[in-house]
Structure 1
Amino acid sequence: MDALRSIRPYLIDLSLRENPVGARIGQTLADKLAILPRLRAFGFSNILLGTLDYALPDEPEVDDDFMLYLRDHQIDMCGCFAFTDIGIAQPDGSFTPSPSLLKLQAYGVPNTLHEIYLSKAGMRGQYDLATLFRSLPASIQWLNDNVRGDAGAKPRILINIVDGCDAFAESPETVFSVLNLLAGLPIEGVSIEDDRGTYLPFQVGAYVAAARVFLPPPLKILVHMHAGAGFENASVIEALLNGADGAWGGLPKRAAIIGHASLGELIANLVRVGNPHMQDYQLDQLLPLASGLQTLDENEPVPDDLPILGRNAYRLPLSFFRQQADRFMDLVPEAIGGEYRYRICPVVSDPAVIAGRLAEVTGHPADFFPVEVLQQMIRLMRRDLRAGRRIVYDDPESLMELFERASPA
C-alpha cells in the first residue's frame, strides 16, 4: 500500500489512438483537434498522437492528417509521442529507416514508442534475431540524429515490446539478451505489452521484476495490458508493485480488443489507495471526460455495468453498497467527478434506494415519499415475483405505477 501511495506513475495517454482502434466509428481530424487540449487540461503531460507503423503506409490515416495539422499550424507538440517501428540494418552496416521513422521526422513529433517483436511468431516475416540486434541500435541512433525532441533535446525513446509477455514465456533468455543490449543504449526505457490480455497478474509481475534487473533506474519500465481474460487492472497493479514506473493507455476503457487497463481506471484506483500525486489531474473531470470520449468513439453509451466508469458503477441497488469517503479502500463517485444515483432491483432495493429513484424520476426530494409507502412498494415487488410477474420497476413508468399501487387510496 505504501508503494502504491507513493508512486508518481509515468503515464502516456492514448485516448487519441488506443480507444479509436477498437471503436465502431473512431475519430475524425476535427475530433482529435478538440480532444488534445482537453487531455492537456486534464493533466496529461505525455500524450500519444497516433500510429505511424501501420499497414499500407502509402495510404495515410487520420493520424497522419492530425500530426501534419499540428506541425503546419505550429501547435505545441511538447510531450507528444507516436508509434514507430525499426528500420533495417544490413550486415554491411547500411541502414534503411522505416516509413514510420521518416514520417516521425517529417511531422515533427518529438518522441516515440518504438515497437519491436521478440517472439518467434512476432518476428516471423519481419526480421530474425540477428537482424534485430543489428537494427535496434541503428534505429535508436537514427532517431537521436534525426528527430528533434522536446524543447530541442534528444527524443524520448521507449522501446515497446509488443509481444512482451509472449516473448518472456517463450524464451526469457532472448528477452534478457535484448534488455541487456537496450540498457546500454540512449533510450528512456522499455514498455511491455500483454497484447491479448491472457497472462495472469503474477506472471506479469514476474516479467516486470525480471526486466527491472536489466533496466535499473533511471530507465523506465511501462506496461500496457489488454482485457482479454479480465485480469488487466490487477496486472497493472502487480506490475507497479514489481518495479514498473507506469503504464500507457487511453483514458476510457475501450481498446483494441474488448478493453484494456485504462488510465482512467488506474488513476481512480490510485485515488482509492490515497495516492496524493493523483491530485496532479483534474479528478473532478475524470468520469465525465472518460465516458464522453468513449461515447464519441462508439456513438453509443458506455456499457452500463462497466466498473468505475459505467453508468451502473454508481447507481445504488442497496444502501449497504454505498461507498464512503472516510472508509478504507472506498472511492466515492464525487472523487472522480460523478455522483450517486439509484437503481431499482426488486429482490434487494431498500426504502432509501426506492426513495432516491423516485426523486430522480419525479423531481421531488427523497424525504417527500412516506416510509410506509416505500415499504409497501417492497412488499408488492416481492408479491409480483412470487406470482410470476417480471416487471422492470427501474423504468419510470413502471416505478410510478408501483408507487400508485402502494399509496393509500
Structure 2
Amino acid sequence: MSSMQALENARAILAEADAKLDKLRGIEPYLIDLSLRENPVGSNVGQTLADKLSILPKLRAFGFKHISLGTLDYDMPDELEVDDDFMRHLHAHDIDMTGCFAFTALGIEKDGVFTPSPSQGKLKNYGVPNTVHEIYLSKDGMAKYGVYDFETLCRSLPASIRWLQENIRGDHGGAPRIFINIVDGCDAFASNLEETCQALALLAEQPIAGVTIEDDRGTFLPFQVGAYVKVIRNFLPPPFKILVHIHGGAGFENASVMEALLNGADGIWGGLPKRAAIIGHASIGELLANLARLGNPHVESFDMENLLPLATHLQELDEKGAVPDDLPILGHNAYRLTFTAFRQTTHRFMDLAPEMLGGRYGYRVCAVISDWPVIAHRLSEITGRSVDDFPEKPMRQMIRLMRRDLRAGERIDYDKPPQLLQLYERAKSNLEQPGPPSSSADHVSTLS
C-alpha cells in the first residue's frame, strides 16, 4: 500500500469517528432526573422529607424538565417511605408537579379482572402526573421479581397501561406520559430474545411515551448495550423515546451511554451526582459534562456553571461526607493539576475546563511528576500569597530535594501543607548555603 493510499484510509477511518461526534453534538438529550431517589438509595443515610423539599426547587432551577419524585413499587408497600410523604406533601400543598414522574409496578389481569398494583393506586392518590412503569422480561426476572409468566405479562401490560391512561391526570390535565422500564433489559436481550422482541412489538401498539432499559449490575459491555438499543429502535421508531440507565459495576457505564446514544437512544435517567444503588452509575452530571466537551449546544439549556457545585452539594447531603476525591469529572482531584501539561482548556478539542461546570483548577503535589509551576500554585493555595512570591529557582530546588528523598528511601506526602512548607524552607536554605546534597532525615523525622 502506498503512503498516499494509507493516508486516504486514515482520513476515511477518522471520518467515521467524526460522524459519530457530529451525531452526539446534535442530540437534544431527554433526561429524567433521579437525584431524589437514585442517589439516596445508594447512600448510607438517605434523604428526609425536609431534604427532598429543599432539593426539588434546586433541580428545577438547574433546568430539569423531567424529574422523578421517587419510587412507589417497593417491597412492603404498607410500610411507607419518605418518597410517599414527599409526594403526599406536594399534593396536599398544591405544589406544581408538572413534568414529574414516579416509578410504579405492573398491575395484573387474571380471569378477565384487572387489579392495579398498590403503586398505581398511590400514583393516583398522590396526584403524580407521569410514571415509569416497570416490568421484567428475563425468565429469572419474571419469576423472581415480577411474579408472573410471559403470557400473564402480555395480557396484563395493555390493561395496566389502559388503567393508567384512564385514572392518572397528566401534565396540565392531559394524558400521562408512560415509560415502560425493562428493569432487567440487558439480561432479557441476552437470555430471552424472542419473548423480549414480542413484548417490544406489543409496546409499539400502546399509547406510551417510550421504553427504558437498565444494565442493573453494570456488567454488559458498551457495544452490547448499543446493540440492544438498536433492536429496540427497530421496533419503536420515533416519536417513541428510548432511555437507558446504566450502573457502574465494571467501569463501562459512561461508554455504554455513548454507545446507546449512537445507536438510537434519546437519553438517560439517573441522578445528577455519581452516587447510585451499587457503586455509582452513568450520572446525568457526567453525561452533560461529556456532551459539553463535544460542543453539544443543547446542554446550555441547563445551568452548567452550577453543575459541579450542585452535584457536590447533593452527594455530600446524601453521604454526610465528601465526594470521593478521584471521581472522574465530579471529584475534587479531577481538576487538581499534578503536572501543567494535564490542564484542560476552553479552546482545545475534547477538553472541558472546570470553569464550564462551575469549578476551577486546584493543584496537587506528587513527588514524582509535579513540575515547578504546580508546586508554586500549591504553595500559593496553602499560604494565601501570590503565586509570583514563589519563583522558579527555589521551586526547581524543591523538585531536586523530593527526588533525593525518594532515592534515600524516604516516602513523604508533600501535598500536605506542613510537609510542603518544610520542603520549601529546605529548598531556600539549600540555595542560600551551597554544599553537598541535603538529606531530609533531620527535617522530616516527625513527618514520615
Out of 46, 57, 70, the position equivalent to 1:37 is 57
Counterpart for residue 118 of structure 1: 137
Q: C-alpha distance in 2, partners of 1:27/1:238?
A: 33
Counterpart for residue 252 of structure 2: 231
Larger Rg: 2
Counterpart for residue 352 of structure 1: 373
Give 1:10-409 correspondences, 5 Å limit. Answer: 10-90=30-110, 92-125=111-144, 126-408=147-429, 409=432
Counterpart for residue 6 of structure 2: none
1:45 is displaced (CA, Å) by 0.4
SS in 2 for 1:124: helix
1:72 is displaced (CA, Å) by 0.4
1:118 alignment partner AA = L
Conservation of the 8 A alpha-carbon contact between 2:139 and 2:192: no
Counterpart for residue 3 of structure 2: none
1:182 is displaced (CA, Å) by 0.3
Identity of aligned pairs, percent?
69
1:97 alignment partner AA = P
1:172 is displaced (CA, Å) by 1.3
2:313 alignment partner AA = G
Q: What per-residue deviation string (whole Å, max 9, x for no partner) do you get for residues 225-280 of structure 1? A: 00000000000000000000110000000000000000000000000000000000
1:401 is displaced (CA, Å) by 0.4
Q: What per-residue deviation string (whole Å, max 9, x for no partner) do you get for residues 261-311 of structure 1? A: 000000000000000000000001000100110010001100000000000
1:350 is displaced (CA, Å) by 0.3
Q: What per-residue deviation string (whole Å, max 9, x for no partner) do you get for residues 148-202 of structure 1? A: 0000010000000000000000021111100000000000000010000000000
Q: C-alpha distance in 1, partners of 2:404/2:189?
A: 57
1:110 is displaced (CA, Å) by 0.3
Q: What per-residue deviation string (whole Å, max 9, x for no partner) do you get for residues 44-63 of structure 1? A: 00000000000000000000
Q: C-alpha distance in 2, partners of 1:358/1:174?
A: 63
1:66 is displaced (CA, Å) by 0.2
Q: C-alpha distance in 2, partners of 1:325/1:406?
A: 35
SS in 1 for 2:250: coil
SS in 1 for 2:104: strand
Q: C-alpha distance in 1, partners of 2:220/2:236?
A: 22
Conservation of the 8 A alpha-carbon contact between 2:248 and 2:280: yes
Q: C-alpha distance in 2, partners of 1:184/1:80?
A: 24
1:370 is displaced (CA, Å) by 1.9
Counterpart for residue 27 of structure 2: 7
2:227 alignment partner AA = A
**Structure 2: 5+ residue stretches without partners:** 1-20, 433-448
Q: C-alpha distance in 2, partners of 1:284/1:185?
A: 40
> RMSD of the TM alignment (CA)?
0.6
SS in 1 for 2:134: strand
1:269 alignment partner AA = N
Query: Which has the higher mean CA deviation after the structures are superposed, 124-133 or 31-40?
Result: 124-133
Q: C-alpha distance in 1, partners of 2:185/2:49?
A: 32
SS in 2 for 1:82: strand
1:70 is displaced (CA, Å) by 0.2
1:135 is displaced (CA, Å) by 0.5
Q: C-alpha distance in 1, partners of 2:220/2:51?
A: 34
1:368 is displaced (CA, Å) by 1.1
1:15 is displaced (CA, Å) by 0.2
Aligned length: 408
2:53 alignment partner AA = L
TM-score computed with the length of structure 2 as normaliser: 0.91
**Structure 1: 5+ residue stretches without partners:** none
